[in-house]
Amino acid sequence: MEKLLYAFWRKGESCAALTQRFRGTIAPQLRALGAERVQFNIADFEDLQGALVNFSLHSTQPPPDGIVTFWLTSAYRRGPAEQLLRQVFARFSGYAVAESTVLPNVLHPPRPGERTYGFSQVTFLQVPPRLTHDEWRRVWFQDHTPVGIETQANFLYVHNVVTLPLTDDAPPWRGIVEECFAPEALRSSEAFYDAVGDPARHEAHQARMMASCARFIDFDRIDVIATSEYRLYSGAEPSL
């Protein structure tokens, strides 16, 4: 089985209408084409006033409006699924990825067809020119991952390492991260950094996180979006 991930850009359709259509008709059609574990994330927060600076980081213009992920027996068989997605979105960029569920969602397990609690931060990473791909991945996986867990209040943390771009115009993203947070973390830095009511802890966590990110991320080569996550057809959830 391979996990396929498609970043998408909407047509003129509203987020609400697209979400309803995807949940009601598109996801079942994908399932009929052999897709498993179908997931839909859409950047549907109309008001990000006061939201964290993370969500203003967009090196891709316009930034993607969300992602669709699913599993197939082989990316070789993706043609019918892509044909369907082509009818839905103005544009999409596809990737075969290797998924690593670092922190499974055991606190707020998703219910098939329903919106997952809180919000899902999706981060699209490029390899900085100053690093080789192997060194970039080593820093991300071995050095940064424990920092991401210890300094943030995320209750889901998934690495998607790009193994193969699937579309000709795909941006040069080489890693795509999915993290879920409680609703208050969208605008509260203290909630995001697991330091509510503790300014010293907040300052320490934020400083440690930013220093760690700077080791393998160039902030002019990153895209971050806040999304609503829908697990539409799920397999068994991983456990710790």
162 strand-pairing partners: 97
**What is residue 138's predicted lDDT score, i.e. its pLDDT?**
98
For the stretch 72-124, pLDDT in tens is 999 999 999 999 999 999 999 999 999 999 999 999 999 999 999 999 999 99
Burial track 144-171 (b if 16+ CB lie within 10 A, e otherwise): bbebbeebbbbbbbbbbbbeebbeeebb
The pLDDT value recorded for residue 109 is 94
pTM for the structure as a whole: 0.95
pLDDT score for 239: 54
| Per-10-residue mean pLDDT, the chain, length 240 | 97 96 97 97 87 87 97 97 98 98 96 95 98 98 97 98 96 98 95 97 98 97 97 66
Domains (range + CATH), the chain: 2-231 (3.30.70.100)
